[in-house]
Amino acid sequence: MITNSEVLQADFQPAEILHRHDQINYLSEVLEPITDNQRVDGAFIHGPTGVGKTHTTQFLLERLEASSPEIETTLIDCWANYQYGATLKRVLEGYDIFRRRGEPKDDLIAKLKAEVDHPYVVVLDEVDQLEDDRLLKPLHEMPHITLLLIANEREDLYSRLDSRVHSRLAGYPAVEFKKYTQDELVSILRKRTEAATRGEVISEPHLEVIADRVGGDARFAIAILKNALEHADRRGGERVRKEDIESVLGDAREELLRATISKLTADQRVLYQILVEGGEQSIGEIYEQYEQRVRDPVVKRTVTGYLQKMEHYDIVELHGQKRGRTYEVTTTQLMDFEDVLE
């Protein structure tokens, strides 16, 4: 049934962005002066998960680079690169600046300042995930750098900023990406279906059923679509039925969760499994089980760091401070760990 599965992957970048004309036009206008080599400080992009913030920005970057050979761009996932040094490294790499061995870290900002002499658009995706905001001020101040900041909530970011950085960035024009409406989601799903399959494989009302379940999140919607198509395929059907959709809701959710889990190390997955099986627990209880399950366990201090990181990933949440603290998985979804933990 599926002839091109690529377009159903979560990271697939569609050639055409649907329903984001207003945002694209506005951001194009904001970025326009760059093509004339004029200074643009930056912009702020915000909205919930799965509403096309990253894809739209990526699309704009490509268009911008195509418009002039002078313009460099980079998109940095601050979720994965949440530490100061990691982010800075990506910023440098994006401009093809690579660090010589032995070069002191402190000079990197100076180096960046010295080397960047034509327009460089730096996108910080999930910028509210950054460990600290030291990097924002110097980047903001560099004349050739344009900062595009992407976050869920405008306030989430600003509340965490140093007040001096805050006042500078507060002047950035802001673009809001709202949740997709029912109709918008249906047309997005329709388009993806056409690209991924041949013939009429799913009806309009069934696309609406999917759109109903996702709270405006296109990523989730597409994950459901993919799984529903596969499910229909497996039972030998020609068209997706409502049961196909209903029965893969959990799978689709799990697929998104699995993508996060795959970023974890083997030890971290064991910890996750302990939390799934044992529910809410203290570090002492967790560590005791962990020690028994792993060949050579890392020290408790390190486990604390792991759990911290998993909280960062939003798959574990912690309750309480200090002594009484407990850890718990954020999702009640049961997973098939035979697969995940091979």
Per-residue contact track with DNA, 263 to 282, x per CB under 7 A?
A: --x----------------x
**Residue 108 vs 121, nearer CB to DNA:** 108
Structure tokens at 246: 């209903």
Q: Judged by CB under 7 A, which of 133, 208, 285, 317 binds DNA? A: 285
Does residue 298 interact with DNA by CB under 7 A? yes
Q: How far apart are CA 266 and CA 100, in angstroms?
A: 33
Per-residue contact track with DNA, 63 to 102, x per CB under 7 A?
A: ----------------------xx--x---------x-xx
Only one residue has tokens 């799913």, namely 202
| CB-based contacts of 127, cutoff 8 Å, min separation 6 | 78, 149, 150, 151, 157
Q: Judged by CB under 7 A, which of 3, 159, 308, 333 binds DNA? A: 308
Amino acid at residue number 158: Y
By the 8 A CB rule, do 195 and 65 touch?
A: no
CB of 106 to DNA, least distance (A): 10
Q: How far apart are CA 286 and CA 289, in angstroms?
A: 6
Does residue 292 interact with DNA by CB under 7 A? no
CB of 323 to DNA, least distance (A): 4
Does residue 165 interact with DNA by CB under 7 A? no
Q: Judged by CB under 7 A, which of 96, 301, 336, 342 binds DNA? A: 301
Structure tokens at 169: 């960035």
- 3-state class of 36 per DSSP? coil
CB of 302 to DNA, least distance (A): 3
Helices (H) and strands (E) in the chain, counts: 15, 7
Query: For residue 145, which of 167, 176, 172 has the smallest C-alpha distance?
Result: 172
Give the binding-site size for DNA (rule: CB under 7 A).
28
Interface residue list for DNA (CB under 7 A): 85-86, 89, 99, 101-105, 265, 282-285, 297-299, 301-302, 304-305, 308, 318, 321-325
